[in-house]
Amino acid sequence: MPVKVCVFAVAVLLAAAGRESGPARFLAGHVKGVNALAFSPDGRLLASGSADTTVKIWDPGAATEVRTLRGHDEAVRCVAFSPDGALLASGSYDALRLWDVATGKGRDLVGNTRAVNGVAFSADGRTLASGCGDGTVKLRDVATGKEIRVLRGHAPTVFAVAFSPDGKTLVSACGNDIEVWDPSTGEERRAPLRGHEDTVRSVRFSPDGTVLASGSWDKTVKLWDLSTGFEVRSLRGHSKAVEAVAFSPDGKAIASGSWDKTVKLWDVATGQEMRSLGGHTATVFGVAFSPDGKTVASGSWEGPVNLWDVTSAP
C-alpha cells in the first residue's frame, strides 16, 4: 500500500523556517533518520537509505512509496543507482548489497570487514566502488560480485567515493584528504587534494567531469580543478558541518546539506549562495538533484524526505 505523503503549503514553510519561498512535499515512511538519497537516471524513482536499516524506493512524481527493501541489519549509510537504473547498491554498517530494482530482490557482496560509508558505479556500470570503515576502497565486478582490487593508503575510515562521468577517475574521501585514483590500475593519479580543515564527508563530480565538489565538517563546500588539483573556490555560508553535496544536471548549481538543518543552493560560477531551504528540524545527511534539475530531495535525521521545487523564484 502506498505510504501517505503530507503536502504543506508555502505559508507553513515560511512560518516554520522563514527561509524558503518555494513549496515542498514530504515523503514519510522511515521510522528513523534518512542518511542517503539517489535519483534513478531517468528520474522516475528516488531511493532513500535510513538508520531504520531499510532502503525505500519512491515514485517522486506521484509522491508514493514503491517498495521497501529489507536485508540490512544495521543503519544504511549510502545508496547509488547503476547507470541503466536496473540495479541499486546500498551500504551499511553490516553489509554491501545489490538490489534488482524491478523485483526488489537483493544479494550481499561479501568481503567487507567494516562499515560501508560510500558507494558508486562506474560509467559503464561494470564496476562498483565502496568506501569502507577499514580505510580501504574496494572495487568489485558488478556481474559476479567478486573483488577486483583494493585501494589502500587511507586513514582509518573512507567516508565517500565517486567515479568521474567517463569512469577513468575515482576519488575517495578520508580524513581531511581526497585521494584521486586510476581505477583501472589502482594507482594514485596525483597527490591528495588538501585544503579542508576537518573530515570530508561527501564528494561529487560535475557532469562534465572537470570539477569536484567536496563537503566537510569544516562547514565549507570546496570546488577543485581535477586537471591541476588546485582548489577553485570555497563556498562558505553554513554555520555547521556539511554532510552532503550534489551537482545540478547542468553543472551550474550545487546543493549542500548541513548540521545547521538547511539545504543551500550555490552558483558554481561565482560561489555565491542562491537559496537556503530551511524546512528541516534536524541535521541534513542526504541531498540529490533530479535528472531534470527541477527538484532537490533532502533527507535528515528527523525521518521524512523533502522534495523541493527549485524552479520557482526564491
The count of domains in the chain is 1
The range of the structural domain enclosing residue 168 comes to: 5-309
Rounded Cα–Cα distance for residues 275 and 159 (Å): 27
pLDDT digits (tens, 9 = 90+) for 107-164: 998 766 578 999 999 999 999 999 999 899 999 999 999 999 999 877 789 999 999 9
**Cα–chain center distance at 246:** 7
Residue 167 is assigned to a structural domain of this protein: yes
In the predicted structure, residue 224 carries a pLDDT above the cut 60? yes
Contact 185, 196 (CB under 8 A): no
pLDDT digits (tens, 9 = 90+) for 82-102: 999 999 999 998 899 999 999
Residue 314 is assigned to a structural domain of this protein: no
What is the pLDDT, as a whole number, of residue 3? 38
Q: Which domain CATH number covers 229?
A: 2.130.10.10
Contact 136, 174 (CB under 8 A): no
Mean pLDDT, the chain, rounded, equals 90
Q: Which among 273, 86, 264, 117 has a CA at the least distance from the CA of 201?
A: 117
Rounded Cα–Cα distance for residues 220 and 260 (Å): 12
Residue 29 is assigned to a structural domain of this protein: yes
What is the pLDDT, as a whole number, of residue 106? 96
Rounded Cα–Cα distance for residues 199 and 106 (Å): 32
User: Containing H/E element for 145?
Assistant: none
Greatest Cα pair distance in the chain: 54
User: Containing H/E element for 137?
Assistant: strand 137-141
Residue 74 is assigned to a structural domain of this protein: yes
Rounded Cα–Cα distance for residues 157 and 105 (Å): 29
pLDDT digits (tens, 9 = 90+) for 228-266: 999 999 999 999 999 999 999 999 999 999 999 999 999
Rounded Cα–Cα distance for residues 171 and 122 (Å): 12
φ, ψ (nearest 5 deg) of residue 19? -120, -25
Residue 190 is assigned to a structural domain of this protein: yes
Contact 120, 80 (CB under 8 A): yes
In the predicted structure, residue 8 carries a pLDDT above the cut 50? no
Other Cβ atoms less than 10 A from the Cβ of 107: the count is 12
